[in-house]
Structure 1
Amino acid sequence: MSVKEVYLHNGTWELLRKDGFMQSQTKLTAFDYHRLLDMVVLGFSNGVFGLYQMPDFVCIHLLSISGEKITIAVFNETGNWLTFGCAKLGQLLVWEWQSESYILKQQGHYFDVNCLAFSPYSQLLATGADDNKVKVEFSRCFGSYVHAWDLFRYRKFRTFTTPSSRQFVSLAADQSGEVICAGTLDSFEIFVCSMKIGCLLDVLSGHEGPVHGLMFSPSNAVLASSSWDKTVHLWDAFEGKGAVETFSHTHDVLTVVYRPDRRQFACSTLDGQIHSWDPIDGLLMYTIEGCRDIAGGGLMTYRRSAANSTAGKCFTTLCSSADGSYILAGGSSKYICMYDIADQVLLRRFQITHNLSLDGVLDFLNSKKMTGAGPLDLIDDDDTDTEEGVDKQVQGKLGYDLPGFMPNRGRPIVRTKYLRIAPTGRSFSVATTEGVLVYSVDESFILDPTNLDIDVTPEAVDEALNEDQPNRALILSLRLNEDSLIKKCIFAVNPLDIPAIASSVPYRYLQRLIEALAYLLESCPHLEFILRWCQELCKAHGNSIQQNSRNLLPYLKSLHKAITRIHQDLADTCSSNEYLLRYLCSASNKK
């Protein structure tokens, strides 16, 4: 212990002066001190913050940034930026006090996220929640309106409504974005609207229960709708001839999703099963028994263990991969299940949270807390009217805002509300009780060799490179399927030899090579070299890529995403340079 620490430890403290904040009926909720600047920042329960110079306690700034209490206020290392956080609103603010300007201002959703969607090339993610906020494209809310938003101008340019008040619960748009369909909860109808002229085109009737799932076929105008009346209907939305075909089930149908090649569609039912149908021949292709896979995590109201109870466990959201090889399913559980389409087997389960403050996370509950009158946790023995930062009225709505869930004193129930796989196939996003989760492919090395032989080794790759045989080395690295070796062989090729080597790559390795080039475009600085590879590969294998576009679709979208991002970055730089050159030319002419 140093002399200074001994002095502070053994010394005494005296109150020299007391200064008031002059904030009536508020509490101090956040504080931070910067030693070098000798300044303090204070946050209050009414959303006001103050910046003071010590030791004279001179107020430099006193501003309001929110209507709720500030839960955190900190300086950065240099002291020129202030960071504030508001937990109740999910608000984050970075402010530069010297220039009095915002550096960053972000706010998450206040309530549960209900839906999300990727842009066509995975560059944007739109989310919608119970707080009536949406990011950015379409809004789906429990009302009789559908709103369309312009992504470039950030304004609402269309509002669709019905002749009489209806409650919308599902929404779908065709591939061109010109036709919007919305399913209702009360009248069991589907309303078809035109995006271009903003009017109601048709009303599709035929369901006898709430229409909770809608999706257009990826390649034609057929609309699939799922309903609680235990049926899936296929409609010709443009012709308006009524239901084309009806697929009956033994339980309520919760959602429906098409495979990208439109040859199959899958739907989930209330008994925890996933059914896949051939829409052309009307045949049931397979059925996945998923009630045991999604089971896990018991509610506090359960009188049996989670392992022995599958009541209420079902899939409420589905999404098929771009190549149709697997399907993701989530619902009223802490798990997301990934199934292989060909073999109908469970590949993996993802647990979306380990937060024990949510109901439905624990597999084994404490039996001591279960009494004849019910769980002890449900007894309201709190004398106060409000809890810290959370109103009782608001808190009471969080536990049972979906049909079938029992009230549990406002304790949020863990579940997956919506999930979507990115078009590139390398990530998927999930709307859960805790917010939006994004899962992506691990970029670290995973040994997945193809056509492995005794002579296919890393040493053989190095030997081929030393013997100036880049073509053979590239094929060996693709057979080993090791990222570092593939990258090494790509960069070992002379730029003049790229056309010849690209044309000699067999089709079976084309998928892996496109995936490697897409990754290199996002991570390496040699843009012209990699773009030359992409160009020659498309020239040499254009017909094969077009004929097998379904299998290569995720990797082609990854490549397109990387090229689009580079184009946007270069476009901004080139535009600024162009204006600078114009200015220099005009300045030289004046001289």
Structure 2
Amino acid sequence: MNYRFQNLLGAPYRGGNAVITQNTQLISPVGNRVSVTDLIKSQTLTLPVQSSSNICRLAVSPNGTFLLTVDENNRCLFINLHRHVVLHRVKFKYPVNAIQFSPNGNFIAVGAGKLVQIWRSPGFKKEVFGFELVRTLADCNDKVTALNWSPDSKYLLVGSKDLAARLFYVNEKLKGVQSNKPFLLLGHRDSIVGCFFSVDKRTDRVNKIYTITRDCRIFSWGYSGSDGKLDEIRGEDSEPPSPGTPERDGKGKKRKDFDGKGVDSGEEKWYLHKQKWQLLRKDDFKQAPAKLTACDYHMGLDMVVVGFSNGVFGLYQMPDFVCIHLLSISREKITATSFNDLGNWLMFGCAKLGQLLVWEWRSESYILKQQGHYFDVNCLAYSPDSQLLATGADDNKIKVWTVSSGFCFVTFAEHTNAVTALHFMANNHCLLSASLDGTVRAWDLFRYRNFRTFTTPSSRQFVSLAADQSGEVICAGTLDSFEIFVWSMKTGRLLDILSGHEGPVHGLAFSPTNAILASSSWDKTVRLWDVFEGKGSVEPFPHTHDVLTVVYRPDGKQLACSTLDGQIHFWDPINGDLMYTIEGRRDIAGGRLMTDRRSAANSSSGKCFTTLCYSADGSYILAGGSSKYICMYDVADQVLLRRFQISHNLSLDGVLDFLNSKNMTEAGPVDLIDDDNSDTEEGVDKQTRGKLDYDLPGSMPNRGRPVIRTKCLRIAPTGRSFSAATTEGVLVYSIDESFIFDPSDLDIDVTPEAVDAALNEDQPSRALILSLRLNEDSLIKKCIFAVGPVDIPAVASSIPHRYMQRLIEALAELLESCPHLEFILRWCQELCKSHGSSIQQNSRNLLPSLKSLQKAITRIHQDLADTCSSNEYMLRYLCSVGNKK
């Protein structure tokens, strides 16, 4: 039961800015969560931290330790990236459109509305409130759109929607509003998207400023003496004294800047904001009528990368404005772009397509290319070895993910309508899919192709799918004709059409032990069919409401189905008896839509389970549906064990239990009244979830607020994780690996000291049994390694049957991380020899641990095969080179 959130698949990016830190770590917002992708290891991780709504801006400290995220409700989280914990929280008064750490990491500049606030950056020190507001700059006449610090953290360049860029000198200890006026860079015809400092490589001083505007233009600014001749600026009469000039007071003490350090009058005699800046050149990207939507600048290479609303990006060498690359990577607007630290990789994000790209511009090759599903995920399927996860969605695509890395490695797009059901065959290399386009397709995961297509004489819409254990028969249920079609996997021929249901067949499941097919329909019945004998349907199992889904217990001795009234019914498929019923309407109730007129506690209408899934051993069942909760029930006692809340994102509808009455008006909720007439300029567009830009069926138009729900649940065959297809994406939960003391057979003599004593007395069998009774992971592994290779058969045969599951789990974990492969495989072999009969008798209880062991062995086999192949080619090459010499 100790499942914890592990990862989020199916949506690598949804809007906002993304950054590459530590040269190889890509950090991107995904809804109200943050995803971290290792570009070298090709692994992605979603932080177990949730913001209150969708994240729109983020910033990373220069050393890569801290992360700042700001959501649509102006709430900011200060996160330790290494520990994955939230250190501080703060809420800004105005929407944040730009945020950046200073290069020295001491300060944070925040563009909140028209204001620029400078905060002292919190650190590891424990404080009640770590944020300290140091300065507020209130010179902008419209919202701030861009920020950039100078390399010495003493100057701040601010771009605004009022068509001006401002250069601030912030190295003064002044509280409140800035009194010293900034230098204005004027002449722009559209709002500023980016503004950047350029440094002279010979003197390491700022010599130019670049401002990039939304109308596809870049302005280059310089000041007198920017060619490196600073004598004119250092002269005594060049500038009159200003309030920012460091002086000594009457007591001989130096004035201090706002970081507390004294400034010697000999160090700082010239100020950038006091110079006579002038426009050096103005260049056009020539992409009209498209708009410039994202940009970034690399100071070391003096290069600019820009993205446009037509999906084109450009890479330019400055200051001569030489175009290096100009390519189209999408048909939608590019909403994020940035360089990595070395400047050899470019990152691009497209919010509307949910796409992230990392491109190496010198070799013109992809480092990362990930795209999520464009619409909601409808169905999931785990491979038999639990290493792969397939997803199908309303965007007509099927994606196959590697569970351990979180990466999608193949996308199938042959379907012409929504994918509604998926099923992995037992051989682990074949995937079946059903779609509303009237086809069932079989996919080869070796060659990545559609090798067989099953069709019907007349077009039908398929919504359910099942295959028998042998893989010889494929069955699919329809939405429109209420029939079940049966095909042969080998020949692709239509074998039979099963008729009898009077409503859409939304659930199909083959018994794990025989060839009995169970089907559920909206006609309030569950029917059993003997497909091979062709006897047709037995007496149906009647219900009082529409049956939404049906599943078999892994041992085939129980059948579970959910109905529209929120109940889960358990049937004995052999005798046809109703065993018991779980009333789940109150358990799944929670969350209130914006249009609901009653509270979540009193509004249980429409709350029902649309997807069910048994655990690997059949002891508990997971249920999800039109709610923010996933419920876990104990099957034997029919009690609720736990509820998982899939999201706390307030940008989704149905998350809050109580609505604020002040937001209700005579015309309806304030949030649903569309009074925003301005076009969106950056970030993600306010798009709806439907295919043709309308909301989901049955829901009122709500300005694109998707309703939270769970469409599909699947538990991995190993039992160590489960996945849920939700409005937020595919959520993966796994059992927490942290130590939990859970002894299985404890008395006064079972202690860690007794285990050590048995090892010292050279009694490895007794020590291993004591460690299994104590159920402490480190002791079990210690005792396994204490057994000599010669003694393994004797010790393995002495292990009692009740400890077999725990020992197999320990061996599976060792195979994942231990280098002693032959030793562990010898253990597995001897256990199978000694306890083969008992393993077969207790296959139901041992199935999850055996699946975990199979998964580990399969992965090692694949790694060794790849290594051997590469070594073989290397040896051939070396031999051929040696012969030539």
TM-score, normalisation: structure 2: 0.64
Aligned partners of 1:233 and 1:243 also within 8 Å: yes
Q: Which protein has the bigger helix share?
A: 1
The offset of 1:99, in angstroms, is 1.0
* Segment drifting more, 134-143 vs 367-376: 367-376
Q: CA RMSD in A?
A: 2.3
Name the CA distance, whole Å, in 2 between partners of 1:300 and 1:513: 51
Say whether residues 1:224 and 2:518 are aligned partners: yes
Q: Deviations over 1:170-195 (max 9, x none)?
A: 22222223322121122211111222
Larger RCO of the pair (alpha carbons < 8 Å, separation 6+): 2
Q: Residue 540 of structure 1 corresponds to which residue in structure 2?
A: 834
Residue of structure 2 aligned with 1:103, choices 364, 367, 378: 367
Q: Residue 159 of structure 2 corresponds to which residue in structure 1?
A: none
Residue of structure 2 aligned with 1:195, choices 481, 485, 489: 489
Q: Deviations over 1:33-78 (max 9, x none)?
A: 2222222221111111111222222211111111111111122222
Name the CA distance, whole Å, in 2 between partners of 1:3 and 1:119: 52
Name the CA distance, whole Å, in 1 between partners of 2:545 and 2:506: 14
**Are residues 320 and 393 of structure 1, via their aligned partners in 2, closer, same or farther at CA, if it must alter by over 3 Å?**
closer
Q: Residue 344 of structure 2 corresponds to which residue in structure 1?
A: 80
5+ unaligned residues in a row in structure 1: which ranges? none
Residue of structure 2 aligned with 1:70, choices 305, 312, 334: 334
Q: Residue 696 of structure 2 corresponds to which residue in structure 1?
A: 401
Name the CA distance, whole Å, in 1 between partners of 2:319 and 2:791: 71
Residue of structure 2 aligned with 1:284, choices 578, 592, 602: 578
Name the CA distance, whole Å, in 2 between partners of 1:22 and 1:372: 49
Say whether residues 1:435 and 2:700 are aligned partners: no
Aligned partners of 1:207 and 1:227 also within 8 Å: yes
Aligned partners of 1:399 and 1:409 also within 8 Å: no
Q: Residue 302 of structure 1 corresponds to which residue in structure 2?
A: 596
**Are residues 540 and 381 of structure 1, via their aligned partners in 2, closer, same or farther at CA, if it must alter by over 3 Å?**
same
**SS, match of residue 308 in structure 1:** coil
**Are residues 526 and 95 of structure 1, via their aligned partners in 2, closer, same or farther at CA, if it must alter by over 3 Å?**
same
The offset of 1:510, in angstroms, is 0.8
* Segment drifting more, 105-114 vs 526-535: 526-535
Aligned partners of 1:426 and 1:441 also within 8 Å: yes
Q: Residue 457 of structure 1 corresponds to which residue in structure 2?
A: 751
**Are residues 43 and 469 of structure 1, via their aligned partners in 2, closer, same or farther at CA, if it must alter by over 3 Å?**
same
Name the CA distance, whole Å, in 2 between partners of 1:383 and 1:564: 57
Q: Deviations over 1:331-351 (max 9, x none)?
A: 000000111111111111111
Q: Residue 532 of structure 2 corresponds to which residue in structure 1?
A: 238
**Are residues 523 and 8 of structure 1, via their aligned partners in 2, closer, same or farther at CA, if it must alter by over 3 Å?**
farther
Q: Residue 416 of structure 1 corresponds to which residue in structure 2?
A: 710
Name the CA distance, whole Å, in 2 between partners of 1:384 and 1:192: 54
Name the CA distance, whole Å, in 2 between partners of 1:400 and 1:40: 39
* Segment drifting more, 76-85 vs 315-324: 76-85
Name the CA distance, whole Å, in 2 between partners of 1:350 and 1:394: 24
Q: Residue 393 of structure 2 corresponds to which residue in structure 1?
A: 129
* Segment drifting more, 190-199 vs 295-304: 190-199
Name the CA distance, whole Å, in 1 between partners of 2:689 and 2:570: 40
Q: Residue 261 of structure 1 corresponds to which residue in structure 2?
A: 555
Q: Residue 531 of structure 1 corresponds to which residue in structure 2?
A: 825
Q: Residue 319 of structure 1 corresponds to which residue in structure 2?
A: 613
Name the CA distance, whole Å, in 1 between partners of 2:639 and 2:495: 42
**Are residues 282 and 561 of structure 1, via their aligned partners in 2, closer, same or farther at CA, if it must alter by over 3 Å?**
same
Q: Residue 124 of structure 2 corresponds to which residue in structure 1?
A: none
Residue of structure 2 aligned with 1:575, choices 842, 865, 869: 869
**Are residues 398 and 430 of structure 1, via their aligned partners in 2, closer, same or farther at CA, if it must alter by over 3 Å?**
farther
**Are residues 583 and 18 of structure 1, via their aligned partners in 2, closer, same or farther at CA, if it must alter by over 3 Å?**
closer
Q: Residue 472 of structure 2 corresponds to which residue in structure 1?
A: 178
Q: Deviations over 1:264-311 (max 9, x none)?
A: 010000111101100001111111111111010011111110011110
**Are residues 277 and 8 of structure 1, via their aligned partners in 2, closer, same or farther at CA, if it must alter by over 3 Å?**
farther
The offset of 1:455, in angstroms, is 2.1
Larger Rg: 2
Aligned partners of 1:450 and 1:480 also within 8 Å: yes
* Segment drifting more, 474-483 vs 11-20: 11-20
Q: Residue 198 of structure 2 corresponds to which residue in structure 1?
A: none
**Are residues 395 and 185 of structure 1, via their aligned partners in 2, closer, same or farther at CA, if it must alter by over 3 Å?**
closer
5+ unaligned residues in a row in structure 2: which ranges? 1-105, 107-151, 156-170, 172-269, 401-430
Q: Deviations over 1:464-514 (max 9, x none)?
A: 223333222222211111112212222222222222222211111110010
Say whether residues 1:50 and 2:344 are aligned partners: no
AA at the equivalent of 1:34: H
Aligned partners of 2:377 and 2:394 also within 8 Å: yes
Identical positions, percent: 81
**Are residues 168 and 576 of structure 1, via their aligned partners in 2, closer, same or farther at CA, if it must alter by over 3 Å?**
same
Q: Residue 740 of structure 2 corresponds to which residue in structure 1?
A: 446
**Are residues 22 and 120 of structure 1, via their aligned partners in 2, closer, same or farther at CA, if it must alter by over 3 Å?**
same
TM-score, normalisation: structure 1: 0.95
Say whether residues 1:328 and 2:622 are aligned partners: yes
Q: How many residues align?
A: 590
For residues 338-377 of structure 1, the aligned pairs below 5 Å read 338-371=632-665, 374-377=668-671
Aligned partners of 2:296 and 2:305 also within 8 Å: yes
**SS, match of residue 40 in structure 1:** strand
**SS, match of residue 546 in structure 1:** helix
Q: Residue 33 of structure 1 corresponds to which residue in structure 2?
A: 297
